A and B are shown apart, each in its own frame.
Chain A
Amino acid sequence: MTRISKPSLSNEGYNLQFKPFEKTLTKQGVPFYFQSAGTQDVIKMELVFSGGIINQPAPGVASFTCSMLSEGTKSKSGTELVNALDYYGAYFQAKASEYDSVITLYCLSKHLMAVLPLLNEAIEDSIFPEKALNTLKRNAIERLKVNEQKSSFLCRREFNSKFFGNDHPLGISSSIEDINKIDIAQIIEYHQTYFLKGLKYILLSGRFEDSLKDKVVESINFSNKVSSNIIYPELTTQKGKFIVTKEKAVQSTIKLGHKGISRTHAYFPTFQLMNTILGGYFGSRLMKNIREDKGLTYGIYSSHETNSHYSLWYIESDLNKKNIEIARKEIFSEIAKIQTELVEADELSTAKNYLLGSILKSLDNNLSLSGRMKLILDNELNYDYLNEFKERILKATAEEIREIANQYLHINDLIEITVE
């Protein structure tokens, strides 16, 4: 058998330079960011609105308002509106996130000017028929009933209520009763406040001519008066161990975590690296120990979610109920290990290269670049932050990893949820 030796590596040969989107303003003064790249004549246009789940007056209102945008306008029924977009092979998605809402339009570049008026109509002239709301509510309740049979859903719901707090908008997950209570007046008011007046900025990506971009900017007609001063409620985290009971459960889920560190924190890159080593990728310690060595689960990951208002670090896995205790023990032992022992050189360099390679990969798809741009805008990062990030990662030492794990992972602060 031929044995060929391992090729040498060059992990510093590539560039993590993010090319900033260009900026212009619409007639109403809304910032409009654009970048044309890639090989396909496709368009992704995102309208970012200032209202999100945090602003909703009652559970479910933000996401129901989003869904209702395709349920009919002054001149078209919902089906007519969707079919008019379908005719051009175009569609839009409206999604309420924690702190904002995004309407994303997908279409071929050649159809953009034809579909823009339809998108405009959906946002500006929606009429929110009662019957459509009732249909959506009925269907949402059916979906909720299915979700409530899934241990992963029950686990996340409980975790959120402990992390954000029972009364916090992000800690409340809609119940059947909540869904039943949503009414048209709430939807109309939310739409007026956050969709008719709250456009923050627009992102245009895909591949297009400059003249097409000019026409788009010219025809955009949304105002961006930001509503009022929004006061964000504080988190009221309740740490400790909690069990969600599920009758006849075979499959279980474990989730444990606590607050992380913000994206602008000096130690953010090192924390990301530490998290990668612990459970952030297929070659991580948790994955190796609990899946690849013991075969206890199909997957286990640790994650670090950050946005402009909070950050959350957690470990989550779906596994058989009988394996919960042993997995739990191993999770704690891996946390203790990363806090006390130095990471070996090979493991450290593998994690560094993997982490940087995954960022390079995300920069390679021109439709995902707008997500990176949004991250920069929302977190007020500078355009060169990825290269700074790369520098920090390449310099990180085993001592720093141990130090960060000690300083920012706290067993005693954990929220721990299991479904049993």
Chain B
Amino acid sequence: MIHYSRFVLKNGLTVIHHLDENSQLAVLNLLYKVGSKEEDPNKTGFAHLFEHLMFGGTPNIPEFDEPLQEAGGDSNAFTSNDITNYYLSLPLSNIETGFWLESDRMRGLAFSQKSLDVQKGVVIEEFKERYLNQPYGDIWLRILPLAYKEHPYSWPTIGKEISHIEEANMDQVKSFFKNFYAPNNCILVVAGNISLERVKELCSIYFEDIPAQEIKRINYPQESVQTEARFQEIQSDVPSNLILKAWHMGDRLSQNYYAMDLLSDILGSGKGSRLYDELVKKQAIFSEIDAYISGDAEPGLFLIEGKLLPETSFHQAENAIKGVLDEFFRTGCTDRELTMVQNKTETNIRFGDVNLLNRAMKLAFAEYLGDIELTNKEINLYLDITKEILLSEAKRTLVDTNCSTIHYKSSSND
């Protein structure tokens, strides 16, 4: 059980307090409700680039990290399709430095041209290092536009292409900040051995007077139902052939989400899973195979990804996956299998909750999804899934016309 209190400041900042009497640390987690899905399709990767600029200093504080490190703390951030999340932790005795820094950059940035130029360089290096110059690194850049034809989930948070990042300019930076970086578009979680009264007091000192802004949400299109199977072949200098299949699934609060998350464990997570047992061990068709979900707030993807052994053809590989899925459709899972994945889920949730920062992030994300109590009741949503629900959701989701497939072909295997 994760205890919390929640209050909203006059400027619209939602604050969540989580007390942990055993900790010597304080954590501040700020979730800004903007992700790559609110980018202009011709200027992608911007939300993530902007995240880098949030560390580039303000008119008051030339550099974000330095005073934090001086206070014995550290910080980082991540950008997803849906949100941009900033977090810091530091010794409890210095918690005020955290409030000072985070409220300061919510007020305004220095908007330095040098910082923009340098961070563009850093992000371009990140793009190359992670997405271009790694074997299979561009697969995410390929599968998303195949699966999404309308919705902005069609590009990854790093962006569609490097040129979008190169072209980012200061006007864009300023208007993005003005539109999205406001207290009424943010969720602040304060966690540690600190009282609710003290948190309220610090919030009133540091955050209360930051003015709310009008947030102009971007009206992006929703994805139409996919009606025919999609396919793309890529040829590249990779050591082995790879197959990636993606099916559209339900949003983060739908029953389909919880069912498909459990199904991904039954089918393909670890040595005990069906795909691994059948296709890696018994049939020796793949060297590795996994099933997983993208985990987005809006309707996301259920994916199966496998590396083919040298002697396996794509045709064989496709049939083998189909065989495992068909077998599942025939009989569904056993009681034991369902209990197994539900217990695994409970273990993962409890281990995640060990860490103070994780608890803070989890509270922020549940609040973002619109139901903070999800933090504690999510396990029940997994336990509510029955064999029958699992089977019907699987049958509804894993159909060919809802699927996008990539065959990533090794040029050396010709």
Contacts and interface: CB of A to CB of B under 8 A. Distances in A.
Interface of A: 1-4, 6-7, 9-11, 13-15, 37-42, 70, 78-79, 82-83, 85-91, 106-108, 111, 132, 135, 138-139, 142-143, 145-146, 148-151, 248, 250-251, 281-283, 291-298, 318-320, 346, 349-351, 353-354, 356-358, 360-361, 363-367
Contacts of B284: 135, 138
A245 B154 CA distance: 37
B91 A39 contact: no
Give the 4 A-B CB pairs with smallest separation, nearest first.
Answer: A295-B121, A357-B72, A89-B343, A145-B239
A295 B125 contact: yes
A108 B347 contact: yes
B409 interface: no
A371 B394 CA distance: 41
Interface in B164-221: 205-206, 209
B100 A354 contact: no
A91 B60 CA distance: 50
Contacts of B91: 11, 13-14, 357, 360
B51 interface: no
B72 A83 contact: no
B396 to A, nearest CB: 26
A9 B97 contact: yes
Nearest to A150: B134
B271 A282 contact: no
A350 B24 CA distance: 19
Scoring B100, B104, B129 by chain A CB atoms within 10 A of each residue's CB, the highest score goes to B129
Contacts of B331: none
Nearest to A88: B343
Contacts of A283: 65-66, 69
A66 to B, nearest CB: 13
A13 B193 CA distance: 14
A149 B108 contact: no
A222 to B, nearest CB: 23
B354 A7 contact: no
Contacts of B69: 281-283, 350-351, 353-354, 357
Given A4-B206, A248-B237, A353-B69, A82 B336 contact: no
Nearest to B271: A82
B375 to A, nearest CB: 14
Given A106-B347, A142-B307, 6 more contacts: A7-B99, A38-B354, A40-B354, A87-B340, A89-B340, A149-B239
Given A11-B71, A143-B287, A358-B74, A39 B122 contact: no
A361 B68 CA distance: 14
A142 B306 CA distance: 12
A2 B209 contact: yes
Contact of A9 (B94, B206, B353): B94
B296 interface: no
Contacts, number: 216
B24 A89 contact: no
Contacts of A356: 72
B387 interface: no
Contact of B118 (A88, A132, A295, A358): A295
A4 B65 contact: no
B25 A106 contact: no
A154 to B, nearest CB: 13
A20 B288 CA distance: 41
A87 B124 CA distance: 45
A365 B100 contact: no
A295 B120 contact: yes
Nearest to A71: B271
Contact of B25 (A38, A281, A360): A360
B355 interface: yes
Determine chain B's interface SS by DSSP, over half rule. Answer: helix
Is the contact region of chain A dominated by helix, strand, or loop, or is it mixed? mixed
A37 B134 CA distance: 41
Nearest to A355: B72
B128 A353 contact: no
A297 B70 CA distance: 25
Nearest to A148: B239
Nearest to B76: A282
A319 B121 CA distance: 11
B351 A40 contact: yes
Given A11-B91, A40-B351, A250-B132, A78 B71 contact: no
A9 B71 contact: yes
Interface string B114-150: 0001111110111011101111100000000000000
A157 to B, nearest CB: 16
Nearest to A347: B66
Interface string B73-116: 11000000000000001111110110110011001100000000
A298 B59 CA distance: 26
B23 interface: yes
Contacts of B93: 10-11, 13-14
Contacts of B383: none
A298 B307 CA distance: 28
A90 B342 CA distance: 11
A138 B287 contact: yes
A330 B71 CA distance: 28
A299 to B, nearest CB: 9
B270 interface: yes
Contacts of B99: 7
Contacts of A86: 270, 272, 340-341, 343-344
Given A139-B288, A281-B69, A319 B60 contact: no
A215 to B, nearest CB: 20
Nearest to A70: B271
Contacts of B336: 83, 87
Given A87-B343, A248-B237, A298 B67 contact: no
B70 A251 contact: no
15 contacts: A4-B100, A4-B103, A7-B96, A11-B72, A79-B271, A82-B271, A146-B239, A149-B134, A150-B134, A283-B65, A294-B121, A295-B117, A295-B118, A296-B121, A360-B91
A357 B270 contact: no
A391 to B, nearest CB: 16
Nearest to A8: B96
Given A294-B118, A350-B66, A38 B72 contact: no
A14 B24 contact: yes
A150 B309 contact: no
Contact of B354 (A11, A79, A318, A366): A366
Contacts of A41: 350
A10 B128 contact: no
A11 B94 CA distance: 8
B20 interface: yes
Contacts of A88: 343
B339 interface: yes
B238 interface: yes
Nearest to B277: A79
A37 B280 contact: no
A298 B129 contact: yes
A245 to B, nearest CB: 16
Contacts of A365: 354-356
B121 A353 contact: no
Contacts of B90: 357
